[in-house]
Amino acid sequence: MTTDSDTGTGMFRDTADAAELLAEYAAGSSFFFASPRGSMLARGVDATVPKTTCASGRSGLPRRVADFLRHAEEFGRRDPLVVGAVPFDGDLPAHLVLPSEVVRAQPLGESAVVAPAAESAGGDYELRQVPAPGEYERAVERVLKRLRSAELSKVVLARSLELSTADRIDPARMLRNLAAADPGGYTYAVDLPRRGADGSRDNFGPQPELARTLLGASPELLVSRHGTQVRANPMAGSRPRSDDPAEDRCRAAELLESDKDLREHAAVVEAVADALRPYCTELVVPERPSVRSTAAMWHLATEVTGELADPATSSLQLAVAMHPTPAVCGTPPEPARQAIAEAEPFERGFYTGMVGWCDAAGDGEWVVTIRCAEIEDAALRLYAGAGIVEGSDPAEELAETSAKFRTALSAMGWSGAL
Residues recognised as catalytic: 154, 220
Give CA 248 to chain center in angstroms: 25
Of 175, 56, 158, which Cα lies nearest the Cα of 121?
A: 175
Amino acid identity of residue 14, one-letter, is: D
> In sequence order, what are the beta bridge partners of 98?
47
Q: Which residues contact 207 (CB under 8 A, 6 or more apart)?
A: 45, 48, 201
The Cα 313–Cα 318 span in angstroms is 7
CA pseudo-torsion sign 178, 190, 26, 225: positive
Q: How far, in Å, CA of 114 to CA of 246, rounded?
A: 27
Sign of CA dihedral 142, 301, 42, 98: negative
- Cβ contact 187:178 at 8 Å: yes
Neighbours of 403 (CB within 10 A): 18
**Identity of the amino acid at 311:** P
Amino acid, res. 56: S
- Asked whether 306 and 230 are in contact (CB, 8 A), the reply is yes
- What radius of gyration, in Å, describes the C-alpha atoms of the chain? 20
**Number of neighbouring beta carbons within 10 Å of residue 335:** 15
* Residue pair 113/179 in contact by the 8 Å Cβ criterion: no
Residue 284, beta-bridge partner list? 305
- Please give the single-letter amino acid code of residue 206: P
Residue 142: name the closest of 160, 157, 161, 159 by CA: 157
The helix/strand/coil state of 163 is strand
